[in-house]
Amino acid sequence: MSRYPYKTIEKKWQQRWAENGLMHTDLSNADNKYYCLMMFPYPSGELHVGHGRNYIIGDALARLKMMQGCRVLAPMGWDAFGLPAENAALKEDIHPAVWTRENIKRMKEQFYRWGVVYDWPREIASCEPEYYRWTQWLFVQLYKHGLAYRKAASVNWCPSCQTVLANEQVIAGACERCGTEIVERFLEQWFFKITDFADALLDDLDTLQWWPERVVQMQRNWIDRSEGTDVDFLVTDSDGRLTCFTTRPDTIFGATFVVISPDHPLVDGLIGGSEREAEVRAFIDSERARKLSGDARNEPGKEGIFTGRHALNPLNGEEVPIYVAPYVLTEYGTGAIMAVPGHDQRDFEFAQTYDLPISEVIRPVTGKSTLPQAAYEGKGILVNSGRYDGMTSDEAFDKIAAWLEEKSLGKRTTNYRLRDWLVSRQRYWGAPIPMIHCGACGTVPVPERDLPVRLPDDVEFRPRGDGKSPLASSAKFLQVACPECGGKAERDTDTMDTFVDSSWYYLRYVSPNDNERAFTADTVGSWLPVDQYIGGVEHAILHLLYARFVTKFLHRIGMVPFKEPFARLFTQGMICKNGAKMSKSKGNVVSPDPIIDAFGADSMRLYILFAGPPERDTEWRDDSIEGCSRFINRVCRLYDSRKDFVNKSLNIQFDPTALEGAEKALLRKTHWAILKVRKDLEDTFHFNTAISATMELANEMSAFDPHARLEPGSVGAGVYAFAMDALVRLLAPMTPHVCEDLWERMGHKESVFRASMPQADEALTRAETITLVIQINSKIRAREEIPAGEPDEKLREIALANPRIQELLAGNPPKKVLVIQNKLVNVIV
Ligand code: ANZ
Ligand code: ZN
């Protein structure tokens, strides 16, 4: 089989696009703007085909939008600070900056070879002072608005590596690198007060209709708002009170004991001087040791100990014992709970172990209670609850909360699982925290005119071993005059979490060279929010939450006119090899280079876009790439074999309604394909089915019987040329090099990406299409527009490939598939 000369073609167009600045966009006009953003990568070195999916989808989308008449902004940059650079640098003995810049260079070359084109003059790298100057500026703004503060917090410390580790580097309580059990250390840390925005972050999720439901749900769970009440239990024989947070005040008559966390500040007061003091203290100490020893970190034990003290249940006046147990977390609610063993399973198990009374106070409205085998955790009707008997849980919640408030024994409260964001890192390769500690003035921000605080490149960047940042070793860095009193002061030596760098980068792209401010507000106002954000679902929580937080902050201080940074989000599925996520550490990566050498970048792109619905995981198959390559060769032949007359026939006018036979069929197929591609790519980016449609069109073109009619200038030639023109434009976003080349050979001077997508004449397709109704178990689940007259086998295939049906089947094979010709498919499961 003869192959089209992809090597020369690809090289030629990559060069041409770079020279002509295909994706370089003037932002002075924002009419019809389309900001297409791919999550900027960590410059880890080589990209494999798994990474390719993200960038190739994004590139195809940007090209498509251009052809749909949008002004497209498609920038790219580098999330370039972080631990891997430091680790690699330690191993290979080169400076992290050098390592990072080399990787950036290599990855840019890869993008270039894939035909993935960006607005490179807008490139940013978070490790460059021109960028991190503004990350530091953001820190100072947060500080000035009371949203950055310092407090002592525990960090993960590896006694063997003598360094602080990020949470992600702690695997089952041990150091990722040396396997030593990590311990907890208390250090002064900087935090951002993201909890101030908890409600806004939660409530505005409702406005994100174009985000995957899964991601919205993950954010919701992460913030996790609970409405409840604080209830005071008065400690007997003292004037102290224990405040407990509960989401179920309706169960309060069933509270038969109280439990506080081992770190609760009142523990000392409760047990001090009592006969049980030594025993309780021993328990608390052993708990603490266990917590530090790794294993128990995530799963606190179920043990507990009686303190010897009691408290009064405020509703029924009964005396209940106070226990200490680690299943009550220090950091959540008030660190103390009223235990209701009848209706909370953890309390139930605890009561069984320590032989504490279990009483039923909620009875289900319908169905049976799980008591006495297990706690009944649902809502219901109150029993054994005095004058609240007979009320529903919701009614009783309100009445009891009101009563507690009236008696000053409690109040309604809201709790969140979301914690403030710990941003200090005791590591070298990050943006220095722009704060100064002065003996006389306290903590003082670096004045904005003195930013950036440069990361010194002549310090020993190895961790020091004492929990301090390597920056503390540089006297030149450390010593500074206090900006307020001019006296001797010291710089903060920590660097920022790299998630701070990526929390605002999408704003910087619109004015990457602005030396006066972090971003040009006007341009940001007209070009943002980002229209389409594309990235991996692994960022569903942290990165997206932090970016939303920073946007909300900037909105609050009047710097951006929008509350949400990303209007639409698309999370692509992973490419797997042998069932596992492709990754260097698993040794199952497929390198794109040999594939490009053997088949060309367009074939690789087509393969990646064709490999199943883009939101779902898919398995890499070496053999399918050949099919993709064959298809492209076929498209070339469709042109080459008839090029003499295609070029001469492109502008032939004909009356579409007067066509018959093969000509009529080809014209219909062309319009059908145009319509199908547009619909498949709108909203859902189903490149796979769009490509199928172009394949069908190509089939029809091959079968088009030319003989008699294919005189240059004839109607038949005109129809064929029209189909060829459409095929090239439809495929251009997916396989840009070969299409750009065909386009040029068809006589066009301007890039195909400056041309428009072909328009379908719906009337012409309608006659030849039917609406296929697809049912599951005789219930209508989907409809699909398809060409009329397809055989049953094809209808069956179409029905099973329908995305909605696939979603509902969730991988379950159908029992039977009934087909009613030209109308309906019923999938029986
Ligand atoms: C009494 C009760 C009765 C509760 C009942 C539940 C069911 P969410 O929804 O996650 O906010 N709780 C409160 N603070 C706690 C802490 N620091 N550590 C562990 N558990 C804590 O959970 C709130 C519920 O979790 C609270 O409501 C409390 O138990 C427990 F039938 O109070 B509940
Ligand atoms: Zn001072």
* pLDDT tens by residue, 359-372: 999 999 987 888 89
- Rounded Cα distance between 820 and 775, Å, is 11
Cβ-contact 80, 116 below 8 angstroms: no
Reduced to 3 states (helix: H, G, I; strand: E, B; else coil), residue 322 is: strand
Cβ-contact 294, 171 below 8 angstroms: no
Structure tokens at 78: 């580098």
Tell me, rounded to whole angstroms, the distance of Cα 374 from its chain centroid.
Answer: 38
Mean pLDDT in residue range 672-685: 90
Reduced to 3 states (helix: H, G, I; strand: E, B; else coil), residue 480 is: strand
Question: How crowded is residue 382: how many other Cβ atoms within 10 Å of its Cβ?
Answer: 25
Among 40-54, 95-109, 482-496, where is mean pLDDT lowest? 40-54
Mean pLDDT in residue range 649-655: 84
- Residue 633: CB partners within 8 Å, gap ≥ 6? 1, 2, 3, 4
* Exposure class string for 494-532: b at 16+ Cβ within 10 A, else e: bbbbbbbbbbbbbbbbbbbeeeeebbbbebbeebbbbbb
Mean pLDDT in residue range 617-632: 89
DSSP E strands, 159-236: 163-165, 170-171, 174-175, 183-192, 225-235
Which comes out higher in pLDDT, residue 293 or 503?
503
Mean pLDDT in residue range 196-218: 95
For residue 193, name the pLDDT band (cuts at 50, 70, 90).
Answer: very high
Task: Write the residue with the smallest CA distance to atom 20 of ligand 1.
Answer: 328
Mean pLDDT in residue range 331-337: 91
Distance 188 CA to ligand 2 centre (A): 20
Mean pLDDT in residue range 803-826: 86
High-pLDDT (> 90) share of the chain, %:
65
Q: Is 243 exposed, middle or buried (0-12, 13-18, 19+ CB in 10 A)?
A: middle
For residue 222, name the pLDDT band (cuts at 50, 70, 90).
Answer: very high
Per-residue pLDDT reduced to its tens digit, 708-745 = 456 667 888 889 999 999 999 999 999 999 999 999 99
Tell me if 788 CB under 6 Å of ligand 1. Answer: no
- Rounded Cα distance between 700 and 667, Å, is 10
Pocket residue to mutate for ligand 1, from 246, 361, 370, most atoms within 8 A of Cβ: 246
Per-residue pLDDT reduced to its tens digit, 457-508 = 888 877 776 777 889 888 899 999 999 999 999 999 999 999 999 999 999 9
Q: What is the pTM of this model?
A: 0.83
Tell me if 393 CB under 6 Å of ligand 1. Answer: no
High-pLDDT (> 70) share of the chain, %:
96
Of 638, 649, 635, 633, nearest in space to 722 by CA: 649
330 CA: nearest ligand 1 atom: 17
Structure tokens at 225: 């708002």
Q: Return phi, psi of residue 230, to 5°.
A: -90, 135
Label each residue of 383-426 as H, E or C: CCCHHHCCCEHHHHHHHHHHHHHHCCCEEEEEEECCCCEECEEC
Q: Return phi, psi of residue 210, to 5°.
A: -100, 25
- Rounded Cα distance between 220 and 224, Å, is 6
Distance 454 CA to ligand 2 centre (A): 21
Structure tokens at 800: 């099973």
pLDDT surpassing 80 at residue 336: yes
Distances (CA, A) of 52 to 21, 582, 601, 607, 740: 22, 11, 11, 11, 21
The separation between the first and the last C-alpha atoms of the chain, rounded to the nearest angstrom, is: 44
Structure tokens at 34: 């389309």
pLDDT of residue 808: 84
- Rounded Cα distance between 803 and 799, Å, is 9
Of 448, 443, 441, nearest in space to 424 by CA: 443
User: If you search the block for the tokens 């029986």, which residue do you land on?
Assistant: 828
Half-sphere exposure of 350 (CA within 13 A, CB side): 30
Distance 224 CA to ligand 1 centre (A): 13
Cβ-contact 786, 735 below 8 angstroms: no
- Residue 743: CB partners within 8 Å, gap ≥ 6? 728, 729, 732, 751, 752, 755
Mean pLDDT of the chain: 90
Tell me if 242 CB under 6 Å of ligand 1. Answer: no
362 CA: nearest ligand 1 atom: 31
For residue 299, name the pLDDT band (cuts at 50, 70, 90).
Answer: low
pLDDT surpassing 70 at residue 706: no
Structure tokens at 216: 């919205």
Tell me if 338 CB under 6 Å of ligand 1. Answer: yes
Distance 425 CA to ligand 2 centre (A): 24
Distances (CA, A) of 720 to 121, 267, 697, 698, 702: 41, 85, 11, 11, 10
Phi-psi sector, 59: left (phi>0), alpha (psi -120 to 50), beta: alpha
342 CA: nearest ligand 1 atom: 31
Ligand number nearest CA of 257 is 1
Distance 245 CA to ligand 1 centre (A): 7
Among the ranges 542-556, 619-633, 772-786, which has the highest mean pLDDT value? 542-556
Task: Write the residue with the smallest CA distance to atom 32 of ligand 1.
Answer: 246
Pocket residue to mutate for ligand 1, from 202, 231, 244, 248, most atoms within 8 A of Cβ: 248
pLDDT of residue 501: 97
Structure tokens at 411: 């109040």
- Rounded Cα distance between 140 and 766, Å, is 61
- Rounded Cα distance between 588 and 575, Å, is 11
pLDDT of residue 116: 96
Tell me if 463 CB under 6 Å of ligand 1. Answer: no
Tell me if 100 CB under 6 Å of ligand 1. Answer: no
Q: Is 129 exposed, middle or buried (0-12, 13-18, 19+ CB in 10 A)?
A: middle
pLDDT surpassing 60 at residue 36: yes
- Rounded Cα distance between 604 and 610, Å, is 10
Pocket residue to mutate for ligand 1, from 324, 331, 337, most atoms within 8 A of Cβ: 337
Per-residue pLDDT reduced to its tens digit, 634-644 = 999 999 988 88
- Rounded Cα distance between 587 and 630, Å, is 29
Task: Write the residue with the smallest CA distance to atom 28 of ligand 1.
Answer: 246
Distances (CA, A) of 2 to 6, 7, 456, 634: 12, 14, 57, 10
Tell me if 262 CB under 6 Å of ligand 1. Answer: no
Structure tokens at 246: 């509960």
Tell me if 543 CB under 6 Å of ligand 1. Answer: no
Tell me, rounded to whole angstroms, the distance of Cα 557 from its chain centroid.
Answer: 26
User: If you search the block for the tokens 């009142």, which residue do you land on?
Assistant: 266
Tell me if 328 CB under 6 Å of ligand 1. Answer: yes
Cβ-contact 566, 555 below 8 angstroms: no
pLDDT surpassing 60 at residue 774: yes
pLDDT of residue 298: 45
Cβ-contact 131, 124 below 8 angstroms: yes
Tell me if 243 CB under 6 Å of ligand 1. Answer: no
For residue 297, name the pLDDT band (cuts at 50, 70, 90).
Answer: very low
Distance 490 CA to ligand 2 centre (A): 10
Distance 484 CA to ligand 2 centre (A): 5
Element (H, E) at 244: strand 241-246
For residue 56, name the pLDDT band (cuts at 50, 70, 90).
Answer: very high
Task: Write the residue with the smallest CA distance to atom 33 of ligand 1.
Answer: 246
pLDDT of residue 295: 46
333 CA: nearest ligand 1 atom: 14
Task: Write the residue with the smallest CA distance to atom 19 of ligand 1.
Answer: 328
Tell me, rounded to whole angstroms, the distance of Cα 72 from its chain centroid.
Answer: 22
Task: Write the residue with the smallest CA distance to atom 26 of ligand 1.
Answer: 246
Question: How crowded is residue 196: how many other Cβ atoms within 10 Å of its Cβ?
Answer: 17
Which comes out higher in pLDDT, residue 683 or 452?
452
Tell me if 249 CB under 6 Å of ligand 1. Answer: no
Label each residue of 677-717 as H, E or C: HHHHHCCCCCHHHHHHHHHHHHHHHHHCCCHHHCCCCCHHH
Element (H, E) at 435: strand 435-438
pLDDT of residue 177: 72
